[in-house]
Chain A
Amino acid sequence: GAGVSQTPSNKVTEKGKYVELRCDPISGHTALYWYRQSLGQGPEFLIYFQGTGAADDSGLPNDRFFAVRPEGSVSTLKIQRTERGDSAVYLCASSLMTFSGANVLTFGAGSRLTVL
């Protein structure tokens, strides 16, 4: 597709369950970002990939959160033993890194996670 696709758009789970959120970036975009956004707040940085490798994972809140991008395209954010505090919208963005100009992110619509 032409844009960034995120699935599922909504996920309701129970406390303690495992969740996977998927991001399909714009074709050819080398960088991919994950953010978490709580109600009324701005996007909170989680991790970003340059190609297949995590260039910066300093935003992951704890070891229950993990993300992969094995082929440098689709990425999966994995959350183990979910807690109610994990409830938020998880946003994915991709960008085409260039050596001139700034880094421009294109966002998906997000995956809304609700942990009961």
Chain B
Amino acid sequence: TQLLEQSPQFLSIQEGENLTVYCNSSSVFSSLQWYRQEPGEGPVLLVTVVTGGEVKKLKRLTFQFGDARKDSSLHITAAQPGDTGLYLCAGEGFGNNDMRFGAGTRLTVKP
């Protein structure tokens, strides 16, 4: 059983479309992070959200941390083929620095 549930598992869209992927849990986290992973490489950090209700923007990517610190979403505007990859969310526990990952959303953006 995954501590963090990500949805959808797979997403295939056309270039220029918008999309949202979700990360949900019954646990409360001190912070939640989003990573992107490409084949043959380790995950690379995109953003960290720390405060409940926090919204962060990174160019065409918008990240939100739920008020209860149990869930998060990643919205991509005008997706591009270069956005293709595995998007992973990871939650950090309180006081223990454990970092647990969801199963990921595999995004394909077709030109």
Stretch in A11-19, A66-74, A79-87, A106-114 with 4+ CB within 8 Å of B: A106-114
Task: Quote the shortest CB–CB distance from A48 to chain B (angstroms).
Answer: 7
CB-based contact B102/A42 at 8 Å? yes
CB distance from A12 to the nearest CB of B (A): 16
Residue contact A104 to B45, C-beta cutoff 8 Å: yes
A95–chain B nearest beta-carbon distance, Å: 8
The answer to whether A45 touches B97 (Cβ under 8 A) is no
Which residues on the A side are within 8 Å of B40 (C-beta)? 109-110
A101 within 8 A of B: yes
Would you list which residues of chain B between 69 and 111 have a CB under 8 Å from chain A?
Answer: 88, 90, 92, 96-104, 106
State the interface size on chain B (CB cutoff 8 A): 26
Q: Does B64 contact A (CB under 8 A)?
A: no
Number of interface residues of A (CB under 8 A): 27
| Pairwise interchain contact A102-B31, C-beta atoms closer than 8 A | yes
CB distance A103 to B42 under 8 Å? no
B30 within 8 A of A: yes
Determine whether the beta carbon of A42 is less than 8 Å from that of B30.
no
CA distance A102 to B90 in the complex (A): 12
B48 interface residue, CB < 8 Å from A? Answer: yes
**Which residue in chain B gives the minimum CB-CB distance to A43?**
B101
Q: In the complex, which residues of chain B have a beta carbon less than 8 angstroms from the beta carbon of A101? A: 48, 50
A93–B42 contact, CB under 8 A? Answer: yes
Interface, chain B (partner A; CB < 8 A): 2, 6, 30-31, 33, 40-45, 48, 50, 88, 90, 92, 96-104, 106
